[in-house]
Structure 1
Amino acid sequence: MAQARRSAPFYMTATTQFGLEEILAEELYQLGAEIEKIGQRAVEFVGDMQLCYEANLWCRTAVRILRPFAGFYAPNEKALYREVGRINWQDYIQPDQTFAITSVVNNSTFEHSLFVAQLAKDAIVDQFRDRTGQRPSVDVKNPDIRLHLHMLENEVVLSLDSSGESLHKRGYRQQTNVAPLNEALAAGILLLADWDGKKTVVDPMCGSGTLLTEAALIAQRIAPGLYHQGKFGFENWPDFDKALWETVRLDAEQARLDEPQALLYGSDLSPEFIELARENVEAAGLEDFIRFAVRDVKDATAPKGEPGIVIMNPPYGERIGEEAEMDALYKTIGDTLKTNFQGYDAFIFTGNLEAAKRVGLKTSRRIPLYNGPIDCRLLKYELYRGSRRTPAPETQE
């Protein structure tokens, strides 16, 4: 019976950030998923329970893996309450478990997602009370069962959240007062750069080291879900297959490569940031794979050996009056790339597209992404060696 349940395929939805959908679809495909649809910030796919577990462990760009189980039309409050109440909730939640509902409402007669979540919660609790005299408690912070309600034009889809804590929170990051890149976005940037996990990576403005930490996870074939804090959501499901999960987890632990696969270098002007980066990398157990130094970006140089990629997420300068400072910084970045990184491919991830013009190099790709609410671009520059690069005439600003 357990074997039949393991192999029966079902629909799932993996959520991600804008711009990473194709990368996530490729990750899922490599795990054996049948891709059904690539949407905005989501990939719909089919797979079995093993794939559900593996997707949570291995997908570097996923935020959540959802398992849809019910859908209906709800034109008004009464209909929403009635339809939620028709589902047999003991198939999904035990009376002694806690649960929470996250709702997303778009183009609907319902204006507030919190109200929709509250109404659905009432319908679930009332059903338990009527049938068993007991009711599961709500715990919005750390529930046993997380439900996701998505309403688009009054069409409702209810899903179980298999992930628990968001997958981008890897758990290796120590307390930080800086605004680092989200880990899934950092991994996505490296995968969008077509980095093969072998070439040298230099981050001359590494901050707290997220790009390089994610690079080390890719290079050493380490599943990011091994750092996941607390239980995954599926571990609290009634059909949780403990033996299968232990096998999947053991396979992931054994896939890790112990010998360094790529040279990874990070530097930053701030000794505090470098100290923080070292702490994060040690927390991830990756200190043997990344070298750090305190250095101004203008002094950054390519290490000896074959050219690789230079990648960075410089400040965007969001405070008023920082325009001149940002222009100067981005010009310095451009000068450093031209002088010290010939033969490399350079990638700059930035939310300051005006200052990025001061880099003074022609982009070969411009990929739209978001860093939180900030509209950003991943800019690629090919830094040719010698005669292949025709110097542009200098223009006085």
Structure 2
Amino acid sequence: MVLDDKKKAFITLGKFMSQFTAVPFVSDAQVPNNASFFDSFVELMHSSVHYNGWFTIEQVMHAVRTWSNSLTEENINIWTSKYNLESEPLKKVGMILAGNIPLVGFHDLLSVLLSGNIAIVKLSSNDQKVLPFLVRYLISIEPGFDGRVVFVEGRLEGFDAVIATGSNNTARYFEYYFSKYPSIIRKNRNSVAILDGNESEEQLIALGRDIFTYFGLGCRNVSKFYVPTGYNFDAFFNAMFHYKELIEYEKYSNNYDYNKAVFLMSEFKILDNGFMTIMEDKGYASPISSVFYEYYDDLNELSNRLLDEEQKIQCIVSNDLIDGSIAFGETQEPKLWDYADGIDTMEFLLKL
């Protein structure tokens, strides 16, 4: 396959996905093979919650919208322009995918295919429907991809390299089992925000998207924020109130009730607004419906501390308070060149 054909196929896939970014879904007659795939994908999106209770149609739509916005000719050309992708190594890359949010492994699959390699994919039991469907569509518009994505169950075998994502515990197993192979092993990470009290209401509302999209289950979700000593939380809570409807979702509500009860029985000091709690804590990984916070006195000192602990952090959000931070509301809108854990997946694949 030539590179241009691969890129065109993913651009077409992006156009297909763009039909499912807002309700009601509207079929575009210009999208290839729509007659065979449109209605089936509508049904799949509506039924996703039956396969994973956290995959509401709104959350699946957000993932599809993010990828449809990314898979444009401009974005793909910008991303791929820095690499030599003309050769086809056809190395077999084993992929062990997480299932915490919809399509969480799509970027790895995209990278493997554009780099001219073969993906051997072990799906998470929590996300087994959407990605295989999109691969079938991709093959329907570019048959050259047929045989280049193999979904497997059970033990992963016959690979030349591995990309595996899991918890810190499973990462230790991955590192041992795959020690003889080139690999990218991803562990737990969390994202943080830094506030200084000068944020606008719009910025704080956008921060709410960073916290609550995918119910806070992704590594790019803000699970902790830092505030200056003496910070008044009123503006923060007023902005968070825009997301109060989350409590109407049973799984989220159950987590809120449970975690709040645990905090209270443990006599932790919490702040509560009826659908989320915040608690002062030095950790990064807060439970669902809760966000940790910590006070700071010196921004430079905080910046150095976060740099020292960068292996635990996926994103830092702020209003340009420190170098490398991203704007409020953008954690779940990564660019194609925003690599997980800061590891250039494409460069890794091209060195195999």
TM-score (normalizing by structure 1): 0.29
Flag the structure with more relative contact order, 1 or 2, with Cα contacts below 8 A and sequence separation at least 6.
2
Between Structure 1 and Structure 2, which shows a larger proportion of strand residues?
1
Task: Compare CA radii of gyration and give the structure with the larger one.
Answer: 1
